[in-house]
């Protein structure tokens, strides 16, 4: 396809729930900045059961899809191929439809994390801590596989979750040690702390922020700041937000779907900040 050509091009984000998604705001801002007046980006409430039917009905005007939970793994059997990055964590958040009709999957969350950290001056760390053990935690481990030279400690609530994180560590070739969530305050002394938990889960840890914290990467963007991030900033620590991650992974999606690079990161971030402020 030719970016900017006269025929319409469509893209969208799918998931359930999806009403909260900022992806349309970010992608549309990119289209405006790139002059892609014939491109549109929407959101659709789609669950795992409805995904195959939705994908099958897409016409040739479709350029790509962004996928959020619970579809990142469910989409894989519907694709013609996935990138090594997506295969590393069994999760696809980006589908691009090629000119010859193939459906190709990728994961931009992992390089998005690395890009967000790099923007804040974090190129490499000697060790790190992860709070939580869900799907985002595995992506965090995959990112750390590229930038962490030493041990990663994952703080989890159950032995089952601990076993999962150790398995991910073996698969991604990351040295992972697990610890009980009751000791999560110990994580805050790490050179890099990645919080991958749902809203409110780390609030009780705010009181334990050390006097000279290093870097916190909190993957949440709403509500923002979290209690932990606010306290971290108050003590002078560096904070990378969920919006930073969202923008960086969306930049890569826009570039893949439209064929235009670089995507306008600053314009996309401003649009996201404006949308969050209006909420």
What integer is the mean pLDDT of 66-84? 97
Q: Choose the catalytic residue: 72, 161, 231, 269.
A: 72
Q: Rounded to an integer, what is the distance from CA 39 to the centroid of its chain?
A: 23
pTM over 0.85: yes
**Residues contacting residue 13 through CB under 8 Å, at least 6 positions apart:** 21, 23, 24, 41, 42, 43, 44, 65, 66, 67, 68
- Is 3's pLDDT higher than 50? no
Q: How confident is the model at residue 8 (pLDDT cuts 50, 70, 90)?
A: confident
Confirm whether 72 is a catalytic residue: yes
pLDDT tens digits along 223-253: 899 999 999 999 999 999 999 999 999 999 9
- pLDDT for residue 7: 74
pLDDT band for position 2 (cuts 50, 70, 90): very low
* pLDDT tens profile 11-38: 999 999 999 999 999 999 999 999 999 9
Q: Is 164 helix (H, G, I), strand (E, B) or coil?
A: helix
What whole-number percentage of the chain has pLDDT above 90? 96
pLDDT at 45: 98
Residue 1 clears pLDDT 60, i.e. is over it: no
For residue 5, the model assigns a pLDDT of 43
Q: Where are the strands (E) in the chain, listed by range?
A: 9-15, 39-45, 62-67, 81-82, 94-97, 103-106, 128-131, 152-156, 176-180, 192-195, 215-218, 238-240
* pLDDT of 100 higher than 60: yes
What pLDDT is stored for residue 116 in this prediction?
98
Segment 249-270 mean pLDDT: 98
Order of strands across the sheet that contains 128-131: 176-180, 152-156, 128-131, 192-195, 215-218, 238-240
Burial bucket for residue 151 (CB in 10 Å: 0-12, 13-18, 19+):
middle
């Amino acid at each position: 396809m030719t970016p900017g050509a006269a025929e319409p091009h469509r893209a969208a984000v799918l998931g359930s729930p999806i009403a909260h998604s900022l992806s349309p705001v970010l992608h549309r801002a990119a289209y405006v900045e790139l002059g892609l007046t014939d491109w549109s980006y929407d959101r659709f409430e789609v669950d795992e059961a409805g995904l195959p039917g939705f994908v099958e009905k897409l016409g040739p005007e479709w350029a790509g899809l962004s996928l959020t939970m619970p579809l990142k793994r469910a989409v894989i059997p519907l694709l013609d191929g996935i990138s090594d990055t997506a295969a590393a964590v069994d999760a696809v958040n980006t589908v691009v439809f090629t000119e010859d009709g193939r459906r190709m999957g990728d994961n931009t969350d992992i390089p998005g994390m690395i890009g967000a950290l790099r923007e804040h001056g974090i190129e490499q760390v000697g060790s790190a801590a992860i709070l939580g053990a869900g799907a985002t935690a595995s992506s965090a481990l995959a990112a750390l596989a590229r930038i962490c030279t030493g041990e990663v400690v994952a703080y989890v609530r159950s032995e089952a979750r601990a076993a999962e994180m150790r398995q991910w560590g073996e698969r991604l070739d990351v040295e992972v040690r697990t610890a009980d969530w009751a000791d999560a305050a110990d994580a805050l002394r790490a050179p890099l702390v990645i919080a991958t938990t749902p809203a409110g889960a780390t609030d009780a840890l705010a009181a334990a922020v050390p006097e000279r914290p290093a870097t916190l990467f909190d993957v949440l963007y709403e509500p923002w700041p979290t209690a932990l991030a606010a306290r971290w900033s108050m003590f002078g620590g560096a904070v990378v937000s969920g919006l930073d991650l969202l923008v960086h992974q969306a930049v890569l999606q826009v570039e893949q779907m439209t064929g235009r690079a670089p995507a306008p990161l600053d314009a996309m971030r401003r649009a996201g900040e404006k949308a969050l402020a209006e909420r």
